[in-house]
Structure 1
Amino acid sequence: MPFEHSTRHPVPRGALYNPYMDIAALIAQYGYAAVFLGALFEGESVLLLAGYAAHRGYLDFSVLTVVAGVGAMTGDQFFFWLGRRHGQALLARRPVWRGKVEQALDLIQRHPAGTILVMRFMWGLRIALPVAVGLSDVARWRFFWLNLASATLWAPLVGGAGYVFGALLSSHLAVLHRVEHWVMLGLVAVLLALRGFLHSRHTRS
């Protein structure tokens, strides 16, 4: 049941409280902001869930991909600037980043255009790559246009994967509409736990 339909018919006083409506309202109200903030860093998990929410009618898929693309590009431009202006000082303060940045810099030096185009799909080097580009001799306008192409490719692909996932679930689970909000919360918990585990492994290595 799309959220917009529910807002036209408020729950009468004395009616039973429905927690699903509160969750749907939160998704509709804060979903785009969450996607933008997630895309600033490593936002696949947020974007996948937002794609699922778009399939269920809580978010608009076109707006979702634009917001995600702008967030992704903004984040990469910031880390590029950070690498260009403060790269060496940053690595001195955060030596744990040095190995990743050196690995990313090697990729950039060998295949600059291709690496920038696919950098948002390279989990584990997502922040290190734009920092490494900033440390390289890649011109800022060349990075800008390649970054734009990368974000334009990444947003609909990842968001579309979440949308298709929602369509597949809907076709196989007739009762999905009764539990979809709990499914989404469960997916959030699983993705956050997996992300924390992988981040701890990268930090230790």
Structure 2
Amino acid sequence: MSIELLIENYGLLAIFLGAAFEGETAAFLGGVISHRGLLPYWSASLAATAGSFAGDQLWFLAGRYAAQWRLVRRLKEQPALARATALLEKYPTGFILAFRFLVGLRTISPIIIGTTRIPTGKFVLLNAAAALVWGQLFTALGYLFGHGIEQMLGHLPLHRHLLVAAAAAAVVAAAALVFRKMKLSAGRS
């Protein structure tokens, strides 16, 4: 079975699951794949949106369920989580809309939000709105990146196109993490 056939058969499921558990790379690669014509753009972007929404809802519910566990209470006392919780308590709506765009906070934030008194309905609505923006943005970036690579390098075989896209996504993620650590280090000085 060729990679193209695998993507056509299981690509939307892979984008959904990848967006639910990993995030940006899955949505970005969904855009690259849709640029190649293997999946419709709107299907890929909606799979990324739905995956992001579903994953964050699961983490939120895990936070609700585990809020009273001693381990969770101890974790919330860690400096990074304490800062995230303070931001959440000060700006709950803004935090819920923005956490998925903040490197290093995407997975832990819905758990922390789940441990607070923020109503479930409010989280569902804000999470849906943020997931819609996020899914469209990262899928569009992948689509545009695919177009740019094709303009620069010509029509590459699919596996090379995906490798270039994955490498670019990894470089951007690494740069964001380095920038964040530098910013945190500068703030402690």
Question: If the TM-score is normalised by the length of the shorter chain, which range does it land in?
Answer: 0.7 to 0.9
Do 1:53 and 1:163's aligned partners in 2 also have CA atoms closer than 8 Å?
yes
Corresponding residue for residue 176 of structure 1: 155
Q: What displacement does 1:80 show?
A: 0.9
Distance in 2, matches of 1:152 and 1:131, equals 20
Bigger Cα displacement from structure 2, 126-135 vs 157-166: 126-135
Q: Is the 8 A contact 1:97 1:128 kept in 2?
A: no
Q: Secondary structure at the match of 2:22?
A: coil
2:162 partner letter: M
Percent same amino acid at aligned positions?
35
What is the Cα deviation at residue 194 of structure 1?
8.4
Instruction: Give, in angstroms, the shift of residue 94 of structure 1.
Output: 8.1
* Match in the other structure for 2:118: 138
Give the alignment's Cα RMSD to 1 decimal. 3.0
The aligned length equals: 180
Do the aligned partners of 2:61 and 2:111 also contact (CA within 8 Å) in 1? yes
Equivalent residue in structure 1 for 2:147, among 138, 148, 167: 167
| Counterparts of residues 72-111 of structure 1 (less than 5 Å) | 72-89=52-69, 91-92=71-72, 95=75, 98-111=78-91
- 2:39 maps to 59
CA apart distance, 1:109: 0.5
What is the CA–CA distance in structure 2 between the aligned matches of 1:54 and 1:149, rounded to whole Å? Answer: 23
Gap runs ≥5 in structure 1? 1-20
The equivalent of 2:14 in structure 1 is 34
Partner SS, residue 71 of structure 2: helix
1:92 deviation in Å? 4.5
Q: Is the 8 A contact 1:52 1:163 kept in 2?
A: yes
Contact 1:77–1:144 (8 Å) recurs in 2: yes
2:128 maps to 1:148:
yes
| Matched-pair contact (CA < 8 Å) for 2:32–2:165 | no
Secondary structure at the residue paired with 1:176?
coil
- Using structure 1 for the length normalisation, give the TM-score: 0.75
Using the alignment, how far apart are the partners of 2:81 and 2:106 within structure 1?
10
CA deviation vs aligned residue, 1:85-120 (integer Å, no higher than 9, x gap): 213427349849944432321111111111111111
1:125 correspondence with 2:105:
yes
Distance in 2, Cα, partners of 1:69 & 1:90: 33
Matched residue type, 2:87: L
Partner of 2:137: 157
Task: Please say if residues 100 and 128 of structure 1, whose CA atoms lie closer than 8 Å, have aligned partners that are also in contact.
Answer: no
Residue aligned with 1:59, SS: coil
Which runs of 5 or more residues in structure 2 are unaligned? 182-189
CA deviation vs aligned residue, 1:33-53 (integer Å, no higher than 9, x gap): 111111112310111111011
CA distance 1:193–1:121, shift in 2 (3 Å): closer
Tell me the distance in 2 between the aligned counterparts of 1:117 and 1:158. Answer: 15
Could you give the per-residue CA deviations for residues 12-69 of structure 1, whole angstroms, max 9, x where no partner exists? xxxxxxxxx8121122122111111111123101111110110110111111111111
